Amino acid sequence: MQTDARVDAYIEKAAEFAQPMLHRLREMAHAICPEAEETIKWGAPSLSYRGKNLCGFAGFKAHVVCFVHGETSEAQKSGMGEFGKMQTMADLPSKAALATVLKVRIQKIAAGPAAARKPPKPPPDVPADLAKALKASKPAAATFKALSPFNQRDYVTWITDAKQDATRIRRIEQALEWLAEGKPRNWKYMGK
């Protein structure tokens, strides 16, 4: 069973009545499909199997939902997942009921082509003026080198998209300051 700490955090923040329900749904889904991998998708816990979405669950103010991807039952059409709004432990599906719908999805995933993952994009080509500025600041250069290619591209694109030389120079100076502090470009918007 591969778990994700973000799912633990999601359940901890859920309403008190929802926490045991979310724990139980998580347990049952992993028991039915031990190879499932956890993540957070669309702001809620989700499980995937062979790179494809399998199921998810979410807690709200007054109810919990469990949804199976790729299936469209009447309950799902209302936006409340395969089993509708669940407000108490008694409302949760039995393990057998959950297994019935999950196994259909698992079989569809297994029968289809394996999910082809795109290879990661390579690191960006660093423009000469940014490279020169990074050489002058070892802390900024170290942070830039440690960033993922995505975050490196974010800085490079932000700098190269400047329409005027003065703007480009200001952006390089700002980038060096943030990098020296160990920050990715959009650090202001990252969760705390």
| Structural domain contains residue 119 | no
Say yes or no: 143 and 107 in one domain: no
- Which of 76, 111, 146 lies at the terminal end of a domain, its last residue? 111
pLDDT at 118: 67
Say yes or no: 105 and 179 in one domain: no
User: Is 172 or 187 the better-scoring residue by pLDDT?
Assistant: 172
Strand, coil or helix: what is 117?
coil
Say yes or no: 47 and 104 in one domain: yes
Q: Where are the alpha helices (DSSP H) in the chain?
A: 5-13, 18-32, 74-77, 95-111, 128-136, 138-146, 149-160, 165-180
| Structural domain contains residue 140 | yes
User: Is 130 or 192 the better-scoring residue by pLDDT?
Assistant: 130
**Percentage above 90 pLDDT, the chain:** 43
Say yes or no: 159 and 78 in one domain: no
Say yes or no: 87 and 163 in one domain: no
Say yes or no: 107 and 136 in one domain: no
pLDDT digits (tens, 9 = 90+) for 61-118: 999 998 888 755 554 445 567 788 889 899 888 899 888 888 888 888 888 765 556 6
CB 98 within 8 A of CB 29: yes
Say yes or no: 18 and 65 in one domain: yes
pLDDT at 72: 55
Q: What is the value of pTM for the model shown?
A: 0.54
| Structural domain contains residue 123 | no
User: Is 116 or 52 the better-scoring residue by pLDDT?
Assistant: 52
Q: Provide the number of structural domains found in the chain.
A: 2
Mean pLDDT across the chain:
86
| Structural domain contains residue 116 | no
**Poorest-pLDDT segment among 27-41, 113-127, 158-172, 176-190:** 113-127
User: Is 187 or 114 the better-scoring residue by pLDDT?
Assistant: 187
Q: Which of 111, 98, 100 is nearest to 57 (CA)?
A: 98
Say yes or no: 13 and 99 in one domain: yes
Say yes or no: 103 and 14 in one domain: yes
| Structural domain contains residue 52 | yes
Say yes or no: 14 and 104 in one domain: yes
CB 31 within 8 A of CB 65: no
Could you tell me the residue range of the domain that residue 177 belongs to? 128-189
With 60 as the cut, is the pLDDT of residue 22 above it?
Answer: yes
pLDDT at 77: 47
CA 100/CA 115 separation, integer angstroms: 23
For residue 34, the number of C-alpha atoms closer than 13 Å in the C-beta half-sphere is 1
Exposed, middle or buried, 65 (CB in 10 Å: 0-12/13-18/19+)? buried
| Structural domain contains residue 121 | no
**Percentage above 70 pLDDT, the chain:** 90
Say yes or no: 173 and 80 in one domain: no
